[in-house]
Each structure stands twice: as structure tokens, then as C-alpha cells.
Amino acid sequence: MTPNVFITGADRGLGLGLCAGMLEQGWEVFAGQYTPAWAELAGLAAQYPRSLRIIPLDVSSLESATQAARSVEAIAEGLDMLINNAGVISQTTAGSIRNPQDYTEMHRLYDINALGPLRVVQAFLPLADRGRLKRLCFVSSEAGSIARSERTSWYGYCMSKSALNMGVKILYNDLRPQGYTFRVYHPGWIRSYMFGTKNLEATQEPEEAAAKAIPFFLGPREDENILVMVDNEGNEWPW
């Protein structure tokens, strides 16, 4: 039976690259789409009409996540892998504490980056319980590492990613004894659309970043009973 995966934030950027890469690996892909106006995902679906299904998803809404899970459940008996990729960053939270802070925007970043994956896991867990691989993957960031933080700003994004990492650790404590395996990944600096427009200053195209991420998501680890965050060069990051 063909393995399947649900990928959040699949509209473009890394999420779109992950969809394409997993399709090339022969997986059935359920792509969580936030903005139908972006045409890239529909173009990929036209190339893989039997293997790629687009599912509307707003990770800031539990109702949306629950409906997305119901849509998948209508097609699949279980879910083998879940990749929580959706995330945002904002220039309005980039300043020093001596500058005015956009706390409303910080709440939005936390709601999407930290609580969003939690909503998605909650909604999809009954399907994942019936999956064969039981693998939960999370796209985090070096920005969430407290031990190696050297930043003097970007409070909203960094704090939201630290919160994501703690959420994953609690999920790990809960679900690892039930047979789940976890992957936490820092993909590096990508020419993505997290700011709303493509970041042309970054060092990797989304397809290149996805090609590095997929082996980590798919492959085994020597010790699944230790939770680690790994970057695109294979280095482990401290929490």
C-alpha cells in the first residue's frame, strides 16, 4: 500500500518543495493549502492527479484543522506521516526592545508557529493512530534554540519557535511510548515567502532545502528515544 503524508503550509516555498519531493518518492500527498490564489500547488496537482490532493487548511483554526482531518479520513484509512511546516515571520517584530514592539503581531506568530502544529496534531491524531509509520515531523528553526541564541531582536519569531520546541517535547513525552517517532528540523535560510514576498537574500531555493529535509524525515535514527533538532547540514542543535 502506498504510504501517505499530510504537509501543512504546502502552498509554496519549502512546503511546496516537500510536496514535490515526497511525490517523487512515490508517496501519496495531502497538501494543506492556505491561499488558493497561489497557483503553484495547483500546477503540481495537475502533474500528479492521482497522488496529490489539496486540502484547505488554516493552522490558526482548530475548526479548519478538524475539517482537514475529516477530508483526509474520507479518503484514507490512516495517516503515515505528518509534516508540520506552516510558519510565518514578521518584520514588525524585528526591532530592539528600545523600539516599539508589535505585540499583536507577536500573538499572531505564536498562534501560527507554536499553537498551529499542536492543533494539527490534535486533529490528525486519530488518523495517525491508524497509520503504519506514526511519524510526526516539525519544521523548527535555530532561532528557537535558547542555548545558542545570540540575537538582540526578533522576539516574536524566536519565542514562537522556542515555544514550538517545548510543545514538541511534551508531545514526544506523551506519544513516544505509544509508538510515535519524531523529527524536528531546522532547514536553513530559504528563499521562501514567510515574510509574504520571496526572500531573495537567502542561500537555498525551496527545492534544494526540501531535498535535504526529506531524507531526515523518512530515514531511521539510531536512537528514537532521544529527541533532537537537526539542521540541513546534519548538525544537532541544543534546545
* Per-residue model confidence as pLDDT tens digits over 14-26: 999 999 999 999 9
Q: Which domain holds residue 15?
A: 4-237
- DSSP state letters, 43-109: HHHHH-TTTEEEEE--TT-HHHHHHHHHHHHTT-S--SEEEE------GGG-S-TTS---HHHHHHH
Would you state the pLDDT for residue 194? 57
Question: 202: domain CATH number?
Answer: 3.40.50.720
Alpha-carbon distance of 190 to 66, in angstroms, equals 30
Domain count, the chain: 1
What pLDDT was estimated at residue 81?
A: 99
pTM, full prediction: 0.95
Contact status, residue 55 vs residue 120, Cβ threshold 8 Å: no
What is the structure's pLDDT at 197?
60
Which parts of the chain register pLDDT below 50?
A: none
> What b-and-e string marks burial along 136-157, b requiring 16 or more CB atoms within 10 Å of the CB?
bbbbbbbbbbeeeeeeeebbbb
Other CB atoms within 10 Å distance of the CB of residue 208 = 16
Give residue 115's pLDDT.
99
Q: What is the pLDDT of residue 200?
A: 59
Query: What's the DSSP call for residue 111?
Result: I
